[in-house]
Structure 1
Amino acid sequence: MLAGYHIPAVAVIVAVLLPLAAVTGQPTQWRSSKCASGAYAANGTYQANLALLAAALPANASAGSGFATATVGALPDLISALALCRGDVVTDDTSASSCRACVAAGFRGAQRDCPGRKDATVYQDACVLRFSDQRFLDFVGANSPDGMFSSDSSGDIITAPAALFNAAAVALMNATASHAVTADKYFATGEEDFHASSRYPKIYGLAQCAPDMTAPQCRSCLTGFVANIPWFLNGNPRGRALGIWCNLRYSVDPFYTGGAMVKLSAPAPAIVPSIAIAETGTGRKRRIAGISAGVGCFLLLILILAACAFIRFKRRKANKNDHSALNEMARVKCTVYDFLTLQEATENFAEKHKLGEGGFGAVYKGILPDGHEIAVKKLIDSTGHGLDQIRNEVLVLAQLQHKNLVRLEGFCLHQNEILLVYEFIKNGSLDNFLFVDASRRNTLNWNEEYNIVLGIAKGIMYLHEDSSIRIIHRDLKANNILLDEAMDPKIADFGLARLQVGGHTQTKTTRVVGTFGYMAPEYAIHGNVSPKIDIFSFGVLVLEIVTKRRNCGSCEADTVNLLTDVWACWTKGTVSQMIDQSLEGHSRVQALRCVHIGLLCVQSDPHDRPDIPSVIFMLNRADMELQPPAQPAFFFGRDSNSDSQQLEQGTYVYNRSDVMIEDISVNGLTITYPYPR
């Protein structure tokens, strides 16, 4: 089954400089390919799936906006693919056929340039194509590592000064990119008068983003490319900055169809007036005196600059670590916000704008001057942590880009305060839909609930398996799952543990952080840390979503919790009574399967719990037979002072006094535990 799957683009782009393919007299012949490691077997399932993509994706891309994404097959032969045609190539039926032909040619080019490779990106004049065995569509449009910058002179010479041409080209691309952000399909073309006496009197430009991107994402993507144009310009009359989600191109030759959407006048050349003076004897003396005075002033200026440079060098050396930290932050394209900007956006952090408060600090809604909504987290107890640690945390958060994670947009360092700026999620937390707000409790239908379960699993998959460093969240719970306008889940408050909590090793922690009712027993009692503690929390979440009942592991006096009730009904064969009685047919079967998977995830022995790839596989494959679950770990809120013990059935029974109770909350903010792979 071939399925279309669209996602927005990312603001962070990493480009790889590639050699330019041979350029003929026909622009459509230009092609450059990027091949990644990994080969598929000849005549195998992967090759068959690739053939399905090659047959369907060209038509999908040309049918509408010139942009299409698709996935085909199942692991380990699942393929993700993306095609983006140039905006002027899909204006009518005739040009749409050009888009279709370009994408089809891209598949053929990939076979020639990257034979037998599972991952290939092909750049052509009229389109960009990528297919891969990696789940790159699950990332928020990251172009890395498949971007490229290239320039080409083709033997031509720009007679005007290179600096003047460079400035003109950058000005044109800035204006064209700005227009593309507000234009239909995020596509714009530009034209600039250059030099009347030049062989090339005009410069032509083009800027484009994928149609599914938001305007801020498109702007950030193109801005990143424009900022890098000076690196490859060097007076070259043609250049490209290409990514799979946005691209730029300029040339002294017209290369797009239709008129220019942006037109600029010729840049004004620098004019140096020349005045001839007839020298006399007095004039000569004055000239010598002037030169002497000029030399003296020049030497004095050099001394002043040298003194300033020395003082600055001493200061920079004293603050080397701090500057290094800030430079690394800048390299990850993370916005550094001014404190006054955030103060105004939140009306001085007014109580009416507070979205929540927990163990890490308060979160406020803010509106920037351009109308963009943000969520600002003011971290508490940050005075004892150096800038290096803050840097590490921001670097970790900025690298995590996934559609099921809340995106970090920037940060602010103000005196002893640390403020993190996140995207604002309008629908708030899943907790409000399940337990808190009775008026919203029944607004979720089963399709939305199942999408939430699957989306949370995909977010955990990214943290555990696909990110550059493994992240163990350690506090997955309903109020740390936010729902966007499409009711897609986003995991919040990951990546803060290292900033706030010390004393970690790779497998054990001296301080337990988390929330009662969601903590795995081996973590709560012994401090053992592994990805399986997130699996346990996910299992509790699944059971809460299906039953719309809160697990009472956090209640002070309850001796029976949700896990107890679900297991009791499961053993009696009456578990269907705990799900929405309005569900029928396939939806009801799917809900019961989710209960089964949830019980598998909350088993007391971590080795019995499935890993997250297996969980996703079980959720996606309805025909996969599931093993019977063992009795889950129960959390009783007993008043007994007995020691923690493990019963014959593998059930943990313990009192809160048994637990390593530092930084444990009932309704706190999320704790994470990142460590290198």
Structure 2
Amino acid sequence: MGLTLLKIGISRFLLLLLLLLSIHVDHAMSSNEFLLRRCSVAANYTDGDEFEVNMDSVFSTLKNEAPSIGFLNTTKGQGTEEVYGLVQCRGDVGKEECGTCITRSTIEIVQYCPNTKDAIIWFEKCQLRYSNTNFFGLLNLNDSNSWSWANSSVEYPEEFYDSLGSLLKNLTSAATTEPSRLMFARGETEYTIRQTLYGLVQCTRDTSLADCKECLETAISQINSTTCGDSKGCELLKGSCRVRFDTNSFYSTTDTTSPSPPPSSPPPNSSPPPIGSQKSESRKRVFIILAISILIVALIGCTICGFYWWKRDCFGRKELKPGQLQGNVASQQTAFARADPMDGPTFDLATIRSATNDFAPENKLGEGGFGAVYRGELRDGQEIAVKRLSRNTENGPKQFDTEVQTLAKLQHRNLVRLLGGFLEGGEKILIYEFVRNSSLDNFLFGEPRKRMQLDWAVRSKLINGIARGLLYLHEDSRLRIVHRDLKASNILLDEDMNPKISDFGTAKIFDTYQTQAETFEIIGTRGYIAPEYFFEGKVSVKLDVFSFGVLLLEIISGKRNCSFNHQETDENLLYYAWRLWMENKALQVVDQTLDGTCDKNEILRCIHIGLLCVQEDASSRPKISKVVAMLENISLILPSILPPAPSICKIRNISLGPQTSSTISGTGSELGSST
């Protein structure tokens, strides 16, 4: 009788729980919160003038015509009074909800941004922008912000971030490769047996597929604890796209258009079904049944064990001795160390052997402390770089795991891309994108004809791209990463001479809020190592800033820091550049091949920034975010410069870990062509 009452109570409790959950989901789907707005102060209009009349006309057109298709851009007026307007509703929103959201946005945007000639506003269900300049079809990454959907902070398991990255990657692919999706996709995935993660991506329909992909990938790369605060849900908003995830269902799974024809003939403008939604309902039913069964069995088991606890010790528990406890922990750590670190796609060995012609010598691009690197070509014609761990290397396995754990979680245009790998038995292989122009080292310090290709426009692009890649590593990714071996040979150049930072085998991964660490193992390359790291073992992001400063001055001068020899003094490149700066002769450090191809003020500003980065005191060096701001905003006033760090190039008595002159893995430059 008691057990029967218990079952009835459990059933009622579960029904109440499911009812509350459904109410919560329905509320989330029907809400339309105001999220953010951006009001430009560049130009204003006065009440009642021609611009306001044209703006009202644009708003009227958007309200009347956009709800039926979920998107519209239109214009009204001429010359300086012309108004451009664009509105878009979320892809899962129906016509009625879309119309309500658009009407609300046209009212509130003028309240939030009174008399402004350029503004954008985001709601949960739609976004609206108007401007006095034509922005249609232009990729807009500048209007950007994030919005968290829960104030409480959550510690997610590692599976959450892996599932989130995979889900958003799949949604991006679906939204940008299938035109019928209208650059919109939503879906779900399970990151634990009982927990589901929901995601949604969308671009404005005036955006090209290529720009849409870039916008979504940029937004996804910026999802971290800083932007989202480890909240239960978060949305990254940009002018041209939006990305949202949540642990609660927030989107509609019903078609927002007219009734659908048979599946064999889908309507061209229909809203796409969410990825994974076809199995959603069945999974939920199975979960409910499984949860009830487990709960009942657990209650019965606990009752029986509790009754016999004093008599039989039903769990067979034994006291562990201290040595046994330590051994148990050690065995768990060993098992973790043996765990497969690959997060991305895996390749079978037969495919890799076929792509490299069975690791043929003629396909070998180079070899470093990690192992050999081979050029390969997949059956679809894609070129790849195959890094194969040497079985005889002592530090290779550690670097292999570090590189996988780092690159598998990173996506940025200025980082070399890890495509996947193979782990089985004694074979450890990583597959990278093949970068055709090899390394910056080959261009900057190689044959004169190659250095001639580096005009100031190219060198400026290299400096800015490397800085943005470091900014992503230090602040914008969900990991805080110190590269520890930034140098010219670890900067790869694609066919358009865009820089890509490579070789993460010696990278240091910090916790989100950790800023500094200490180590006894100094890893890096002479001439690029910051003094506080070399002499004291202090690791921080300022280490990479120092290396960036050295690299910047090398790019400007065309000379290596450690091989630089001034005829009259025994100065390294850093001190030579600083002395010339103090004597107002800084342009003498510039590569002679740049004569007549560069803006003197621009190059002097870059020299100034480089010298700020190589100051001896780490606290005086700017953060990389400040460096990027100084490079991109010429109106920023640069601080005065302190002397650079003393040269470490000629110190021979202090060990650099396992090697003394270069990075341990040493295979960054081999990921590209050697031609």
SS of equivalent to 2:374: strand
Asked if the contact 2:416–2:502 (Cα under 8 Å) also holds between the matched residues in 1, the reply is yes
| Alignment of 1:485 onto 2:495 | yes
Aligned to 1:649: none
Aligned to 1:663: 659
Aligned to 1:81: none
Q: 1:664, 1:611 → 2: CA distance?
A: 28
Structural mapping, 1:153-552, within 5 Å: 181=177, 211-213=208-210, 244=243, 251=255, 254=258, 260=267, 332=343, 334-380=344-390, 394-497=404-507, 507-552=517-562
Q: 1:248, 1:374 → 2: CA distance?
A: 40
Asked if the contact 1:368–1:374 (Cα under 8 Å) also holds between the matched residues in 2, the reply is yes
| Letter in structure 1 aligned against 2:208 | P
| Letter in structure 2 aligned against 1:655 | I
Aligned to 1:132: 144
Q: Give per-residue Cα distances to partners, 1:243-284, cap 9 Å, x unaligned.
A: 749999874964799984699xxxxxxxxxxxxxxxxxxxxx
Deviation at 1:403, TM superposition (A): 2.0
Q: 1:659, 1:409 → 2: CA distance?
A: 34
| Letter in structure 2 aligned against 1:657 | N
Q: 1:51, 1:256 → 2: CA distance?
A: 46
Q: Give per-residue Cα distances to partners, 1:373-398, cap 9 Å, x unaligned.
A: 22222233588799999667534322
| Cα 1:604–1:135 shift into 2, 3 Å | farther
Structural mapping, 1:61-80, within 5 Å: none
Deviation at 1:444, TM superposition (A): 2.4
| Cα 1:100–1:342 shift into 2, 3 Å | same
Indicate which of 42, 48, 58 corresponds to 2:39. 48
- TM-score, normalization by structure 1: 0.54
Aligned to 1:561: 572
| Cα 1:598–1:498 shift into 2, 3 Å | closer
Aligned to 2:599: 587
| Letter in structure 1 aligned against 2:461 | N
| Alignment of 1:622 onto 2:634 | yes
Please list every run of 5 or more consecutive structure 2 residues that lacks an aligned counterpart in the other structure: 1-23, 45-50, 59-65, 76-83, 91-97, 113-118, 130-139, 149-160, 186-200, 219-240, 246-250, 271-330, 510-514, 669-675
Identity of aligned residues (%): 35
Q: 1:661, 1:178 → 2: CA distance?
A: 46
| Letter in structure 2 aligned against 1:665 | S
SS of equivalent to 1:665: coil
Asked if the contact 2:484–2:523 (Cα under 8 Å) also holds between the matched residues in 1, the reply is yes
| Alignment of 1:604 onto 2:616 | yes
- TM-score, normalization by structure 2: 0.55
Q: 1:479, 1:87 → 2: CA distance?
A: 55
| Alignment of 1:575 onto 2:586 | yes
Please list every run of 5 or more consecutive structure 1 residues that lacks an aligned counterpart in the other structure: 1-17, 24-29, 41-45, 63-84, 137-141, 150-173, 190-206, 222-241, 264-318, 500-504, 638-653, 673-677
| Letter in structure 1 aligned against 2:584 | G
Asked if the contact 1:493–1:671 (Cα under 8 Å) also holds between the matched residues in 2, the reply is yes
Asked if the contact 1:335–1:410 (Cα under 8 Å) also holds between the matched residues in 2, the reply is yes
| Letter in structure 2 aligned against 1:592 | L
SS of equivalent to 2:445: helix
Deviation at 1:93, TM superposition (A): 7.5
Mean Cα displacement is larger for which, 594-603 or 519-528?
519-528
| Letter in structure 2 aligned against 1:397 | L
Q: Give per-residue Cα distances to partners, 1:8-28, cap 9 Å, x unaligned.
A: xxxxxxxxxx946799xxxxx
| Cα 1:460–1:251 shift into 2, 3 Å | same
Asked if the contact 1:33–1:110 (Cα under 8 Å) also holds between the matched residues in 2, the reply is no
Mean Cα displacement is larger for which, 610-619 or 588-597?
610-619
Q: Give per-residue Cα distances to partners, 1:593-634, cap 9 Å, x unaligned.
A: 111111111122222222212212221221222223222124
| Letter in structure 2 aligned against 1:482 | L
Asked if the contact 2:471–2:625 (Cα under 8 Å) also holds between the matched residues in 1, the reply is yes
Equivalenced residue count is 469
| Letter in structure 1 aligned against 2:621 | R
Asked if the contact 1:552–1:560 (Cα under 8 Å) also holds between the matched residues in 2, the reply is no
Q: 1:348, 1:465 → 2: CA distance?
A: 41
Q: 2:252, 2:478 → 1: CA distance?
A: 28
Q: 2:591, 2:359 → 1: CA distance?
A: 41
Q: 2:254, 2:384 → 1: CA distance?
A: 35
Deviation at 1:91, TM superposition (A): 10
SS of equivalent to 1:615: helix
Deviation at 1:461, TM superposition (A): 1.4
Q: 2:102, 2:85 → 1: CA distance?
A: 12
Q: 2:258, 2:339 → 1: CA distance?
A: 39
SS of equivalent to 2:539: coil
Asked if the contact 2:105–2:127 (Cα under 8 Å) also holds between the matched residues in 1, the reply is no
Asked if the contact 2:505–2:665 (Cα under 8 Å) also holds between the matched residues in 1, the reply is no
| Cα 1:180–1:248 shift into 2, 3 Å | farther
Asked if the contact 1:536–1:602 (Cα under 8 Å) also holds between the matched residues in 2, the reply is yes
| Cα 1:399–1:656 shift into 2, 3 Å | same
Q: 1:530, 1:426 → 2: CA distance?
A: 32
Deviation at 1:473, TM superposition (A): 0.7
Q: 1:614, 1:92 → 2: CA distance?
A: 37
SS of equivalent to 1:658: coil
Asked if the contact 2:614–2:621 (Cα under 8 Å) also holds between the matched residues in 1, the reply is yes
RMSD: 6.0
Q: Give per-residue Cα distances to partners, 1:386-413, cap 9 Å, x unaligned.
A: 9999667534322112222112221211
